[in-house]
A and B are shown apart, each in its own frame.
Chain A
């Protein structure tokens, strides 16, 4: 067992809407060790981004965090800290890479200014040293001509280069935890692999922990150590990558996996899309939230919410789990 960096206990996050409270994250537990990458997968609206923002404490003011929720980072409960007390932690111990590099960088500040401000604020570096470090960081994320790029504005860079800059900002103060929220969704396919390589290398070299949020099972398979599958604000299955792919138990995970096209599939084979729609999070069903879309659903699935159960390695929330042999 490595050093535990992050420990999320019973995280519940809700937003008030006109129709009532929307329970975006509903009782999520997570632990993450140094040096490991956790993939959080799910459809749009499954609560994965809200979970990320809950960990960062970057929720909109209207959001409500449930009683009994806690986020321990390096042993300290972030939910108990004030905005002012969080400031030295944000960017220093936990940092983030957003989905869209087109909007995540300030259009009116140079790349260098946006890098340097963190270095000066968290590490107290003098201006000259911070600038030199900024150039070094830009080089380490593979930005060509860092000496010129450092004085350029975001609009002068391509999308991939901007995401490299965003990664440089995120790792600039050597955080322990990096949260990457769909970091390649907005990028060209050709650039996606490069950015994921870069993230993976940085995490390994700097011995950080990373949460990689994605809806792409293919990305999870190659880039992550562990996987948490989210559905309707809950984790429905959680295991190390190999285990999850080889011994899938939860029908939802299986459905996600079979919606990836395979190279061994013949031509013109129809993709297995998941029928139906994600549930209403304001009035969630009493039982398993996936039951209405699940071909294995039986009576208890409709009425009783399944708990996340199993052994330490592999947990799943399902009344009618798939037989391991059936999948393998």
Chain B
């Protein structure tokens, strides 16, 4: 209970800080949404009129508090550009971005866990050095560049996967996944490296433990020892990193959605930034921050699953 309360406090602080800083940043950007609304050849007077009309002239803290009040009553505002309800716009696109990030993180784990294990099993072996080399090459390339290379190779040359597009889940699972594979992989190829290296480092230590020797003394196979005995106690740092990576992943998603033409929140946000549509920007950023805090909350819960000692904290005998 105290744990949940502390988490909630943190959530409030993070959300307040993120939304307020965004509010200020959007306001110090040159130009505002009134220019966009008035059109290319509007006079300064017309722009000022619009500014007055939508309340842009009022002091910043007042406008911020108004927006916060709106959010709490379920009114996230409407886009100044196309009148779209912000809540609606985000909830419609957010599942797409979530799917992309989830898929990317699953791919990253699917690469990182077996590769980290192979590396940790025999540190400095040839396999370890090859994996490290591939990993550093793959992390040195930004995701948009990886994305372009993947498009060139798998879409243009081989023609296996589409270069752009999006299909809703209602069109079928494979139809939905197919255009998601390359964008997710572009993100995963950056993310897996750090996960792999942290797992490797921690597992090398765990493999020295007595209980691993005991598992060997029991006649267990290497696969059973690695997956059944060593993986769980080696996963703590990797899990922490996984939660923190979500922030970077969100940034990556915004770019990758542009390249692969995926209608997620990233595209909504970019468009909103171009038009200084601050109410939409506020909405998107709030959503991203909320998602980040929630993912890291989930990571904390996962610790308890990984380590029984966290689960019954305090009840342990000596």
Contacts and interface: CB of A to CB of B under 8 A. Distances in A.
Contact of B219 (A100, A122, A158): A122
A96 B217 contact: yes
Contacts of B216: 58, 90
B122 to A, nearest CB: 8
B302 to A, nearest CB: 13
B318 A92 contact: no
B36 to A, nearest CB: 56
B210 A104 contact: yes
A90 B217 contact: yes
Interface residues of B, number: 27
A92 B217 CA distance: 9
B220 to A, nearest CB: 7
Given A106-B233, A108-B232, A91 B219 contact: yes
Interface stretch (A140-148, A149-157, A304-312): A149-157
A149 to B, nearest CB: 12
A159 B318 CA distance: 8
Nearest to B317: A158
Contacts of B222: 83
Interface in B263-318: 306-309, 312, 315-318
A58 B218 contact: no
A103 B210 contact: yes
Contacts of A76: none
Contacts of A109: 228-229, 232
A118 B229 contact: no
A58 B308 contact: no
B211 A121 contact: no
Contacts of B210: 98, 100, 103-104
Contacts of B308: 107-108, 153, 155
Contact of B211 (A91, A104, A118): A104
B81 to A, nearest CB: 53
B68 interface: no
Contacts of B306: 108
Classify the secondary structure of B's interface with A.
Answer: helix
Given A155-B308, A157-B317, A106 B217 contact: no
Interface in B203-260: 209-211, 213-222, 224, 228-229, 232-233
B309 A155 contact: yes
A297 interface: no
Instruction: Give the interface size bracket for A toward B.
Output: 20 to 34
B15 to A, nearest CB: 34
A22 to B, nearest CB: 18
Contacts of A103: 209-211
A153 B315 CA distance: 11
Interface in A118-132: 118, 121-122
Contacts of B209: 103
Contacts of A169: 214, 218
Contact of A58 (B211, B213, B221, B224): B213
Contacts of B224: 117, 121
Nearest to B211: A106
A200 to B, nearest CB: 21
Contact of A107 (B217, B233, B317): B233
A156 B317 contact: yes
A191 interface: no
A56 B217 contact: yes
A96 B315 CA distance: 29
A105 interface: yes
Given A92-B219, A95-B218, A153-B308, 15 more contacts: A56-B217, A58-B217, A87-B219, A90-B216, A103-B211, A106-B211, A107-B309, A109-B232, A117-B220, A121-B220, A121-B224, A155-B316, A155-B317, A158-B318, A159-B318
Interface of A: 56, 58, 83, 86-92, 95-96, 98, 100, 103-109, 117-118, 121-122, 153, 155-159, 166, 169
18 contacts: A56-B217, A58-B216, A87-B221, A96-B217, A98-B213, A103-B209, A104-B214, A105-B214, A106-B211, A107-B308, A117-B218, A117-B224, A117-B228, A121-B218, A155-B316, A156-B312, A166-B214, A169-B214
